[in-house]
Amino acid sequence: MQEIAISKFKATCLAVMEDVRRTNKPILVTRFGKPVAEIVPPTAPRKRVLGLMRDSGEIIGDIVGPIGAFEGLGKRRVRI
């Protein structure tokens, strides 16, 4: 891994980042010989999850009408 002093990185920041992107190799930024930051290349973009299942389902029948799930709720039990 290539190392670069923080002062040189500050002066050539955009060029260093472009070099990392182009070569796909990380660069370690140091201050007084100790690591301060690591410039790493970007990862491949992730696949979008939103809309992944689009056009894969099928609607059969009436989706607005009642299904009978709430029929028993109107009746109350009376305890004596």
Write out pLDDT tens, residues 19-45: 999 999 999 999 999 999 999 998 888
pTM over 0.85: no
Mean pLDDT of the chain: 84
In eight-state DSSP terms, residue 58 is -
CATH architecture of 2-39: 3-Layer(aba) Sandwich (3.40)
Integer-rounded Cα radius of gyration of the chain: 31
CA distances, 12 to each of 3, 4, 17, 31 (Å): 14, 10, 9, 15
Tokens linked to 72: 């028993």
Q: Give domain limits for the chain.
A: 2-39
In eight-state DSSP terms, residue 64 is S
